[in-house]
Every structure is written in C-alpha cells, then in structure tokens.
Structure 1
C-alpha cells in the first residue's frame, strides 16, 4: 500500500522562471513524511531523525494553483532504520523520485533506538518493493532524461 499526500503549491515555491525551485522539493517530501508518520491513529511519538536523502529530478514542475500528488511508501525496514520512497507526480508524469533513510531516535537519551513492534507493524502495511509507476515506465520508454538542477 502507498500513502498519498496532496501537496499544495505556494507562490513562494517558484523560481524566477515560474518553476518550483528544486530545493523546495525537499520541503514537499518533509510535508508528505510528516503527514504519513504523525497521524492521530499511527504515530512515531518517540521521535526520529533523517539520516539521508536522495532525490532525482525528472522534469520541471510549473507553478499552479492545484496540488501535486506525493506517493510515499516503505522500501526497507531494518532493526534501527527504515527507508521511504517518494514520487512527486501528476497522473501522467513524474517530477521527482526520492528516498529518505529515517532512524528512530530517543531524544531523552540522545541516541538512536530500535524500531518498536508497533512501528514495524505500521511500516509493513506500507511496504512496497516495486519502484516507480506506470507513468515512470512510459517516461523511461521514451528516453526522458533527468532535469538538470
């Protein structure tokens, strides 16, 4: 299963060319991650920190007044970390593919901690080892290249 976040685009997100600035995409990923991890029914209340981000820009996103979709899913669960994958997209195209390694963290003890059984159970619901989507497959078939930063 994948989590869907409808991310609003803001006027301040765009660069001088009317495109969403590449740096802003990291904030979009953060918003999707918070929406996923900190919900009333499922919560990583003990805390977590980001250990690593990787982002591939596929095409420019032009500023508009409608939200962009961010799909988020879990690709790996280890004893003391997990990896989230993302696609920032519209139904017919992908703008960004990214991943984040997250480490559960005990802020009181100031050290990483292991994933609890409840957290693991929650993460397993969103585990999806498939990468990409039909839109990605079509884009790669046509030889689309990553957009230069």
Structure 2
C-alpha cells in the first residue's frame, strides 16, 4: 500500500523539521488505511506491541511524505508491518520502520490467533525482506 501525506506547519518541531512523534502518527494512519481498504468497517481487535523507527533524513514544511507499507512476518497471534517513507519530489529516503501487532480477545484481555480471514489478507500483502 502506498499513499501521500503533505507536511504542515503543525508537524514541525522547534528545529523546523518533522517531529519524530509525527512519524509515529503517519505509521498509525497507514495501519488504519490498510484495514479500511482491506476490510471496510471491520472492528480490528489488535494492539501495537512494538514500534521501531530508523530515522534516515529529516523532512520539512512543504514536502510530501510518500508512505509505503507492507506485511512482514506473520505468526499465530501477531504480525509485522514494514514501512518506508520517502520525500515525493526527490525520492529521498526519510525513514524505515516496523511494527508488531497482536490480535486480542478484548473481553479476556489476552492474545488469540489471528482470524483466518484476516491472515489470508495479510499473507496476500506480504513483501519480500
């Protein structure tokens, strides 16, 4: 999956570049877009277990982030999303990231196997390492 996000003044920190926490929000947006595109109005019952970001170069006001996302490793109860963000005009790599999500039984507050219907979609979106 791939989409664009324009950088706005409110995304910047005191140094004039995109704040690191804003990039975490961009990744969250990618996860939400993924589930909406693949499942419509499904109520996903998963939580973020791990977030890892490697910052490569800064972004600035007026630039456009191109967020690319795919599925990495898939386990029984958890899976990995992998991300790359580049600047649109130059193609400059801005960051690489990965997250691990865990499927939950919300009533019992414990991890459970990923539903087969969800796992099938995740497997179809798997990217090469």
On whether the aligned pair clears a TM of 0.5, the verdict is yes
Aligned-pair CA distance for 1:116: 1.1
Distance 1:14 1:46, change over 3 A: closer
In the alignment of these two chains, the number of paired residues is: 127
SS for the counterpart of 1:115 is coil
The two structures, once aligned, show a CA RMSD in angstroms of: 1.8
The structure with the greater share of residues assigned to strand is: 2
Does 2:96 align with 1:97? yes
Distance 1:44 1:112, change over 3 A: farther
Runs (4+) of structure 1 moved beyond 6 Å?
none
TM, length-normalised to structure 2: 0.88
* Larger mean Cα displacement after TM superposition, 121-130 or 4-13: 4-13
TM, length-normalised to structure 1: 0.77
2:67 pairs with one of 64, 67, 70: 70
2:29 pairs with one of 14, 28, 31: 31
1:84 pairs with one of 81, 86, 89: 81
Query: Which residues in structure 2 correspond to 1:105-144 (within 5 Å)?
Result: 105-130=104-129
Other-structure match for 1:47: 45
> Where does the alignment leave 5 or more consecutive residues of structure 1 unmatched?
131-149
